[in-house]
Amino acid sequence: MLMQTHEARLSALREELKRRELDGFIVPISDEHMSEYVGSYAQRIGWLTGFGGSAGSAIVLQHTAAMFVDGRYTIQVRDQVDGNLYEYQSTLETDHAKWLIASCEKGMRIGYDAWLHSRGWAQDLAAALAKKGVELVATDGNPIDAVWDDQPAPSPAPAVVHTEEFAGKSSAEKRAEIADWLKAEELDSAVISALDSVAWLLNIRGADVDRTPVALSYLIAHADGTAELFIAPEKVTPELEQHLGNAVTIRDRAEFTGGLKGMAGKTVAVDPDFGVAAIYQALDEGGATTVAMRDPAIMPKAIKNPVEQQGHRDAQARDGAALAKFLHWLSHEPSKGGQTELSAVAKLREFRDETGVLKDQSFDTISASGPNGALCHYRVDEESNRDIEPGSVFLCDSGGQYLDGTTDITRTVWIAGEGDKAEPNDEVRDRYTRVLKGHIQIARAIFPQGTSGGQLDAFARQYLWEAGVDYAHGTGHGVGSFLAVHEGPQRIGKLSGGQAGTNQELFAGMILSNEPGYYKAGEFGIRIENLVLVEEQDIDAMEGVYLGFENLTWVPMARNMLDMSLLTAEEKQWWNDYHATTREILAPQLDGDVLAWLEDACQPI
């Protein structure tokens, strides 16, 4: 009989922990590759607690349990996770070690799955708990899997070739560059465990993780340019074998641990952020010397080659036309009544499907009406679905996966009603305009080589800070090329936020989002997001190398939400230039009423 309630599932887990002589267990949102988004088989925290966010963790003890989330999910976790079963903890205030030390007694044994956590995390937590006499124990298999009766199996979808037409560089060239790096660092091999790194390096894609076109696999790259791909046999096609050639040995994914243990005497690089504790353990047991170094595919993957850059431009232009059709629809249909957040998701997907080349969404669309917009990473379902009400703010954050690029765009609009609901109130206009001003500052930023995303973050927040408000998420994240919509290592965010990537130097060729926002709990949310490409600047008498951003996203913004008194002449000029280019790019793709709407939306202010 399937366990339908989260209380029953929590009880079953506790019984399983007793059977294993464990006093507790730590549950992350993760898979064996430390992915941000994971396959359905790895959605353990969702099954256990009901939480649907993309970042968070739980700790279950026999007498208590807790959910840990950051500021993005403060409201969402309370909506989705039963407070009678779990305490709510903020990761900014309480980490795993602090909570466990306060909650555990001497002699307790706390379990963790070594395939779902980094070695550094395990070492640090074990050392902290040891001071209180509490032992951290790597489990033999995941205890949640033992009680999850209807756990989905990993996807059997085949891996497919991502052609050089879109990749811009052959897998052989990429592997040769990795081999040169290994030789320069006096290393024999590197374990590549991040799914998007394997996909990028081999020029392959898959369908094993919703919204991210990757195939569940591991790669060991060697200094002689050869590699070993560990992947389930059912995923291997003749086309894949021909594409990879003789230099890449294909092995069963189940042989990965044995392959690691067979590297005796080798010096092997493992990324401490993506190489789970179990990988280090297997290498150590096999007699290899491990060196913690960044995955050598990460930087070349982040710095897009000219083909990838042009692919992004093409994908954005195509996607922008679909968004224009959607915004035209939003301009009149919801005001008639009868439209919901879910109907908006379906309509936007319909417009993207009309391109004929959409492969998938790049993430689950955030379609948020009124107070749901205040949940900055809200995901609509049948239970939370709200009507899109006239006289309210509607926020839509969405993206598409195309062979030539990955898109991510947010637009916030006013759904017009009658009378005093026809136009946004002064507070909405003020907040929207302050978000826009910050967006413009990032878009127009010029900065010297060596600048990190963290150093730019305050540009986006300054006008909100002037009003005594802020937002609890980063300002920008990296984006892949027909890969992960969230791609490191670059990031724009607060230097004090503790998140990886804010100290990463920005290089020409990197793509980031530009997405400041504002969220008023219980009322509305505002976010304006475009993607931008880092590019070198040509400045007269330039002293050194300076960088700036090329805008990639071209979709009209909401003119009727502006407070014109807050905009400078330069900002108005930016707005007019942006919309003139938007019209130039999108108009040839549109006709009829949508084209007329576009012409009006792009009129200068």
* pLDDT one-digit tens code per residue, 380-416: 999 899 999 999 999 999 999 999 999 999 999 999 9
The pTM is what?
A: 0.94
pLDDT digits (tens, 9 = 90+) for 36-86: 889 999 999 999 999 988 889 999 999 999 999 988 788 889 989 999 999
pLDDT at residue 541, as a whole number: 79
Q: What is the chain's mean pLDDT, rounded? A: 96
What's the CA gap between 356 and 184, in Å, rounded? Answer: 45
308-337 mean pLDDT: 97
E strand intervals along 509-604: 511-514, 517-520, 524-527, 530-536, 546-551
What average pLDDT does the segment 412-437 reach?
95
pLDDT at 499 over 80: no
What distance in Å separates the CA atoms of residue 490 and residue 484, rounded to the nearest whole number? 13
pLDDT at 575: 98
Give the burial class of 421: count Cβ atoms within 10 A of its Cβ; 0-12 exposed, 13-18 middle, 19 or more buried. Answer: middle
| H runs (alpha helix) in 381-452 | 426-443
Give the position of tokens 């569940």. Answer: 216
Tokens 């993957």, located at residue: 301
Confidence bin at 377 (pLDDT 50/70/90): confident
**pLDDT value of position 1:** 40
- pLDDT tens-digit map of 246-274: 999 999 999 999 999 999 999 999 999 99
217 pLDDT tier (thresholds 50, 70, 90): very high
* pLDDT higher than threshold 70 for residue 224: yes
Q: What angle, rounded to 10 degrees, do the helices at 195-202 and 171-184 form?
A: 110
Question: 514 forms bridges with which residues in the sheet?
Answer: 530
pLDDT of res. 210? 87
Percent of the chain whose pLDDT exceeds 90: 92
DSSP letters spanning 469-509:
---SS-SEEB--SSS-SS--S-EE--GGG--TTTTPBP-TT
pLDDT band at residue 312, thresholds of 50, 70 and 90?
very high
- Tell me the β-bridge partners of 160: 205
- Supply φ then ψ for residue 238, to 5 degrees: -60, -35
**Do residues 53 and 140 touch, judged by C-beta distance below 8 A?**
no
Range list of H helices, 107-170: 119-130, 143-147, 164-167
